[in-house]
Amino acid sequence: MFIDRAKIRIQGGHGGNGVTAFRREKFVPRGGPSGGEGGRGGDVWIVADSSLNTLLHLRYNPEHIAERGRHGEGSNRSGREGEDLTVRVPVGTQIFDSVSGEPLQDLAVDGFRWRAAKGGRGGFGNSHFATSTNRAPRYHQSGSEGEEFELQLELKLLADVGLVGFPNAGKSTLISTVSAAKPKIADYPFTTLEPHLGVVDLGDFRTFVMADIPGLIEGAHTGAGLGDRFLRHIERTKLLLHLVDVSSFSGREPVNDYLAVNRELRAYNPDLASRPQMVVATKIDALDDPERLESLKQQVATEGIPFYAISSVTNKGTKELVAAIAVQLDELTEAARQAEPIEFAL
C-alpha cells in the first residue's frame, strides 16, 4: 500500500535524576556528599532511507519516544545516557509542524540525518552543590524532559520525468513499456490510484526515473476526480511528459484535454505549469480521424513545445521518444550546472 502522508508524535528521552548520597566508608570520617548526575535522554533523529518508498510503516506506528537517561547513583556514579532513536523515512519526505504548518525540513538526499527532538538534560547530584560553606547539601536536581513535537510528514517522490494527462491517456501503458514498472492497466478511468516509479534504461549505464501519477480532470484543483493531491509527486521533476489520447474512444477533444490539464497545473502551482514540457499524442494505433492528431499538433506548435506521436501497444515511436527525453534531460542538467554560482576559494 502506498501512503504519502502520515502524522507522528516524537519525544526526546527524559534526563535522569541526580541523587542525594553520602560516603559511608570505614576510616573516612565526614565522607561528604557523593551523589552522581543523571544521564541525558536520547535524541530522536529522522533519516532519509532510499530503501523505503512509502510512509506506511509510520501510519500504524505514530509514537516515537527515545530512551530516557538513567538516574545517578552514590559514589559519584553518573547515570547512563539514553539511546538515540532513529526514524527512517523515504528520500523526498518533507516535514511540517502539524499545528502551525511551518516547514521544518526536507529530506531530499539519501542518508541525510535531522535531529527532530533533543533529549532532556540529566540532573545534578548533591555532590555538585557542595561548597566551602555548604559541605553537606541534602538536595539534588531532577532531569529535564525531552522535547516533544507532533509532525506532519509528506512524501514527494524523486523522479526526472513526470507523466501528466487525463485518465486513460496511456500513462501507465507507456511506463510499463519503457521500464520494468508494472502498474495496473485497464480500460476504465482512474485505474492508477497511486503514483508509480519506473527506471528507464538508456544503455551504457545511463538511466532516468519516470513517475506516473493518477490522471487529472477539469476541476481537479477543487477536488474533482482524485483531485490534485498527487501532483506534489512531480514537483521535483525536471521535465513533464504531457500525454494526450488522440483516439476517438475517449469521447473528448485532444486540444481541450491538453488545455484543461495545463489549466489544472497552473491552478495548483504556476511554477509547475512553466516546467519544461513535451507533449505526446498516444494511441495512434487506434486513430480513426487524422484531424484529431493534426489539430493537437498545430496547437502545440504555436506554443513551441516538442511534440511526439506514439503507440505504446505497438511500440511505434517509443524509442524515439525515450531518446528525445534523454537529450532534453542532458540539456536541462547542463543548463542547471551552468546556472550554479561559481565559488572562489580565498
Task: Give tens-digit pLDDT for 42-82.
Answer: 999 999 998 887 888 898 899 999 999 999 999 899 999 99
Distance in angstroms (rounded) separating the CA atoms of residues 175 and 160: 13
5-155 against 161-339: fold identical:
no
Pull the grid cell for residue 163.
Answer: 507523466
pLDDT for the residue numbered 188: 44
Top-confidence residue, 199 or 133: 133
Residue ranges per domain, the chain? Answer: 5-155, 161-339
Q: Inform me whether the pLDDT recorded for 174 exceeds 70.
A: yes
Q: Inform me whether the pLDDT recorded for 307 exceeds 90.
A: yes
pLDDT confidence bin for 84, thresholds 50/70/90: very high
**Topology of the domain covering 5-155:** Spo0b-associated Gtp-binding Protein; Chain: A, (2.70.210)
Mean pLDDT of 2-28: 89
Architecture of domain 161-339 in this structure = 3-Layer(aba) Sandwich (3.40)
Angle among Cα 319, 171, 92 to the nearest 5 degrees reads 100
Mean pLDDT of 296-306: 92
Mean pLDDT of 290-316: 91
pLDDT for the residue numbered 158: 75
Averaged pLDDT score across all residues of the chain: 86
Q: Inform me whether the pLDDT recorded for 346 exceeds 50.
A: no
Pull the grid cell for residue 260.
Answer: 484543461
pTM above 0.75, yes or no: no
Pull the grid cell for residue 234.
Answer: 512531480
* Closest to 231 measured CA to CA, from 191, 262, 207, 200: 262
Distance in angstroms (rounded) separating the CA atoms of residues 213 and 240: 12
Percentage of the chain beyond pLDDT 90 is 46
pLDDT for the residue numbered 221: 56
Q: DSSP state, 338?
A: H
User: What order of strands is seen across the sheet that includes strand 103-107?
Assistant: 63-65, 5-11, 148-155, 93-97, 103-107
Written as one string, the DSSP assignment of 281-333 is EE-GGG---HHHHHHHHHHHHHTT--EEE-BTTTTBTHHHHHHHHHHHHHHHH
Element housing 268 (H / E):
helix 254-268
**Half-sphere exposure for 288 (CA within 13 Å, toward CB):** 6
pLDDT for the residue numbered 15: 96
Distance in angstroms (rounded) separating the CA atoms of residues 244 and 261: 10
pLDDT confidence bin for 230, thresholds 50/70/90: confident
Q: Which range (4-13, 38-47, 187-196, 249-258) has the least confidence?
A: 187-196
pLDDT for the residue numbered 191: 53
Mean pLDDT of 177-192: 61
Listed in order, strand segments (DSSP E) in the chain are 5-11, 44-49, 63-65, 85-90, 93-97, 103-107, 113-117, 148-155, 161-165, 196-203, 206-212, 239-245, 277-282, 307-309
Three-state SS at 29: coil
